[in-house]
Amino acid sequence: MSVRESQSSADYLTPEAQALIDKARALVPRLAERAARCEADGKVPEETIRELDESGLLRILQPKRWGGFEMDPRVFYTVQMTLAEGCASTAWVFGVMGVHYWQLPLFPEQAQQDVWGKDPATHIASTYMPVGKAEKVEGGYRFSGHWGFSSGCEHAQWAFLGGLLPTPDGKSIEHATFLVPRADFRIVKNWDVLGLRGTGSHDIVVENAFVPEHRTQRTNNHTLEGCPGRAVNPGWLYRIPFTQVFQRAVSTAALGALYGAIDAFAQRSATHIGKHGGKTAEDPNAQLAVAEAMMVADEQKLVLLRNFEPIVEAAKHSTEMDVEARLLQRAQSARVTKVCARELDDLLRACAGQGLYKNNAIERFFRDTHQARGHIANNADAYARAYGAVRLGLPNMDPFV
């Protein structure tokens, strides 16, 4: 058993959970074969989406009452990490869309029926930036806006879109998620970027759509009032605060990409002979690069799995982790892309000039991981400073924690 496959004898790794992880592992070679086409087409191939649907992987966090698995987030993120070894873009879309099967259960029952009533596998895209303008009208809101970065939107029939609403007491405003059907938004295809090109993270535009009250949810309000769907989805999984689930959806693909790059580097190094006649495997710099990359990957995976232990325990006992602990976890999640990008820098450099060609998978993993660093939730330095400030006695300024 390899280092990456070994895990503690945690109770979340049930035979059913392991079977899903094994399905993800079986998909990796096919994802790798399609990775170049995924990037060239600017979207995850339809056959890949079909395989994710048929395998049930996208529904790991969905309630059992809707036909999902309602499993521990560690299963979900192990699967995402595994998929990224073949294609980081696919894993990124999996992470983002897969988390939505967890968030919709927080909405009122009617919203769940609206989306899953005919097909519980229906896909939801998202972009949470709070740029939506909502005007209160009878029964709901008139809603408009222009959002960026909606990963996988071409595969979705609905979208979660961010906006701001007054708090119930009217004294301030808070982030809200608006649920909008495909008929009420249009996609502006403008995703032409450095990496993660296959995510198809285009812009979304909504113009004066009506959003019923039951299709809104106060994103950071973790009370029963803010998450009315818990009345019909009472499992501990849906008591976890939003950020503690979502933050890893946009960093874990980078960790899987590093594992994929390590494999590609090892395979290449065994046979590649440089211009000076020496094997890459015999190059001390290559040996150091692959060893340090593996150590960083192992460290980051251990932190990911360890950090979910207190999250799960708090949810099971209906308690809340303290702010300082939550801020540290947020900083640790954001740091994943930073340290993985650093290791990919060294792996690509150890490939020398020939490694810069597009037929080298490490080159794509390099670009994908640097692209992932651009997501606001992966701003490692900002979240580290936010934790550091609270650790030094200053107040918490992060509204999502």
pLDDT tens digits along 116-157: 999 999 999 999 999 999 999 999 999 999 999 999 999 999
Q: Which CATH architecture has domain 123-224?
A: Beta Barrel (2.40)
Tokens of 121: 């596998």
Buried b (16+ CB within 10 A) or exposed e, 212-236: eebbbbbbbbbeeebbbbbeebeee
Average pLDDT over residues 360-380: 97
Average pLDDT over residues 34-42: 98
Element (H, E) at 312: helix 284-316
pLDDT exceeds cutoff 60 at 223: yes
Share of the chain above pLDDT 90, in %: 89
In this predicted structure, what is the pLDDT of residue 258?
98
pLDDT tens for each residue of 72-88: 999 999 999 999 999 99
pLDDT tens for each residue of 161-188: 999 999 888 889 999 999 999 999 999 9
pLDDT exceeds cutoff 80 at 321: yes
CA 378/CA 332 separation, integer angstroms: 9
In this predicted structure, what is the pLDDT of residue 174?
94
Higher-pLDDT residue of 252, 280: 252
- Determine the CATH number of domain 242-391: 1.20.140.10
Domain 15-105 coded CATH 1.10.540.10:
yes
User: If we measure between CA atoms, which residue out of 90, 67, 70 comes closest to residue 80?
Assistant: 90
Tokens of 361: 């998978």
pLDDT tens for each residue of 326-347: 999 999 999 999 999 999 999 9
**pLDDT band at 1; cut points 50, 70, 90:** very low
CA 367/CA 364 separation, integer angstroms: 5
pLDDT exceeds cutoff 60 at 5: no
**pLDDT band at 279; cut points 50, 70, 90:** confident
Residues 6+ apart with CB under 8 A from 149: 127, 129, 201, 203, 375
Mean pLDDT for all residues in the chain: 95
In this predicted structure, what is the pLDDT of residue 276?
63
CA 211/CA 208 separation, integer angstroms: 9
In this predicted structure, what is the pLDDT of residue 3?
47
**pLDDT band at 189; cut points 50, 70, 90:** very high
In this predicted structure, what is the pLDDT of residue 355?
75
**pLDDT band at 310; cut points 50, 70, 90:** very high
Average pLDDT over residues 387-394: 97
Average pLDDT over residues 220-239: 96
Average pLDDT over residues 280-287: 89
The DSSP 8-state label assigned to residue 139 in this structure reads: T
In this predicted structure, what is the pLDDT of residue 401?
87
Average pLDDT over residues 187-213: 98
Residues 6+ apart with CB under 8 A from 333: 247, 248, 251, 304, 307, 377, 378, 383
pLDDT exceeds cutoff 80 at 273: no
pLDDT exceeds cutoff 90 at 160: yes
Structural domain boundaries in the chain: 15-105, 123-224, 242-391
The CA-CA-CA angle for residues 137, 139, 142, to 5°, reads 40
Please tell me the least confidently modeled range out of 61-75, 209-223, 263-277, 387-401.
263-277
